Amino acid sequence: MEDYLVKAASDDFSFTVSIAITTKLVERAREVHETSRLATAALGRALSLVSIMGTDLEGRQTVSLQIISNGPLKGLFVQSDASGNVRGYIKNPYIELPPNEIGNIDVESGIGKSGYLYVVKDLGFGSPYIGITPLVKGGIATDLAHYFYTSEQTPSVVAAGTYIGPNGRVEASGGMIGRILPGTSFDKIEILEERLNSLPPLSELIRELGSVESILKLIFGSIPYMILEKRSIRYHCPCSKERAKTTLILLGKEELSSILEEGFTEVTCIFCGARYYFNKEELEEIIASIE
Ligand SMILES: [Zn+2]
């Protein structure tokens, strides 16, 4: 089954629930970055949530989540475009920690409780919008819910989980964002929160039910709802030699001249590991193009 997400709304538009199944794309991220179980779990949560945030975009817009924190993983960066292409990396991909007190992968300690969550939206109108909130828990989902509440004044319920099999491979992964729409009465907010919070962990639901549609049925129960959007999502990096060239240009003439002395350079993409080779002539051309 390919990864996909579905956005649904209650009939009266008092709230929306978006759920993404991200098993394949998180497994792809694990292969690319050779992440430990801890790093896979952390990166998996972030990739799942940013893929849902991508549904608010259009055209060439992008949304990114960045965490800079004091835990041993140090932080991560994930990004989605408007077409369901998601990519990301984690600062310390090989770190492992003992399980937490209930025997689960300890993402909270891996990320750490002290640090910041940055939400960067490049909407294509000049400088990007940047929202920053301090981390409240380090588990990513709660931190993002805190961001929605404090920066966007949207009460929300956020969950994400990645189940990793004994061989270290991703067997189930997903994310969910439930949002209360403006003007909704307090009792409806309570009903939604109660329902979403009483569910088993999301990765368990994905393993048991297998489809977003059946999870939505379980969440909405007798509340009438409609599907607003369904789209496929994937791990994809749009890098190219042309973009790698831009990175080199940003280094400036002086730095490039010292690279030129070595005769060649190679730019490795931090998101997908692709390598772009530039020979002496190409480097000279780039230096000559800088004013
Ligand atoms: Zn790339």
286 within 8 A of 244, measured Cβ to Cβ: no
CATH placement of domain 241-289: 3.90.1280.10
Domain ranges of the chain: 4-235, 241-289
237 Cα–ligand 1 center, Å: 5
Mean pLDDT score across all residues of the chain: 93
Q: Is the pLDDT confidence value at 291 over 80?
A: no
- Radius of gyration in angstroms for the set of CA atoms belonging to the chain, rounded to a whole number: 21
- State the greatest distance between any 2 C-alpha atoms of the chain, in Å, as a whole number: 70
29 Cα–ligand 1 center, Å: 12
203 Cα–ligand 1 center, Å: 28
Q: Is the pLDDT confidence value at 121 over 90?
A: yes
Report d(CA 66, CA 114) in Å as an integer.
14
What does the pLDDT look like over 153-177, one tens digit per residue?
888 899 999 999 999 999 999 999 9
Confidence of residue 77 (pLDDT cuts 50, 70, 90): very high
Is pLDDT larger for residue 197 or for residue 7? 7
CATH placement of domain 4-235: 3.55.30.10
26 within 8 A of 11, measured Cβ to Cβ: no
Report d(CA 259, CA 279) in Å as an integer.
11
- The DSSP code for 11 is T
Q: Which residues contact 203 (CB under 8 A, 6 or more apart)?
A: 161, 162, 163, 172, 173, 174
Buried b (16+ CB within 10 A) or exposed e, 206-224: bbeeeebeebbeebbeeee
Model pLDDT, residue 229: 95
Q: Which range, 12-16, 52-56, 195-199, 257-261, has the best average confidence (pLDDT)? A: 52-56
Confidence of residue 9 (pLDDT cuts 50, 70, 90): very high
Token output for 198:
């009483």
Alpha-carbon separation of residue 158 from 52, 60, 79, 140, 175 (angstroms):
11, 26, 18, 9, 8
244 Cα–ligand 1 center, Å: 9
Q: Is the pLDDT confidence value at 198 over 90?
A: no
Confidence of residue 190 (pLDDT cuts 50, 70, 90): confident
149 Cα–ligand 1 center, Å: 33
Report every protein residue that has its C-beta within 5 angstroms of ion ligand 1: 237, 239, 269, 271-272, 274
Confidence of residue 85 (pLDDT cuts 50, 70, 90): very high
Instruction: Give the mean pLDDT of 89-117.
Output: 95
Instruction: Give the mean pLDDT of 93-110.
Output: 95
239 Cα–ligand 1 center, Å: 4
246 Cα–ligand 1 center, Å: 13
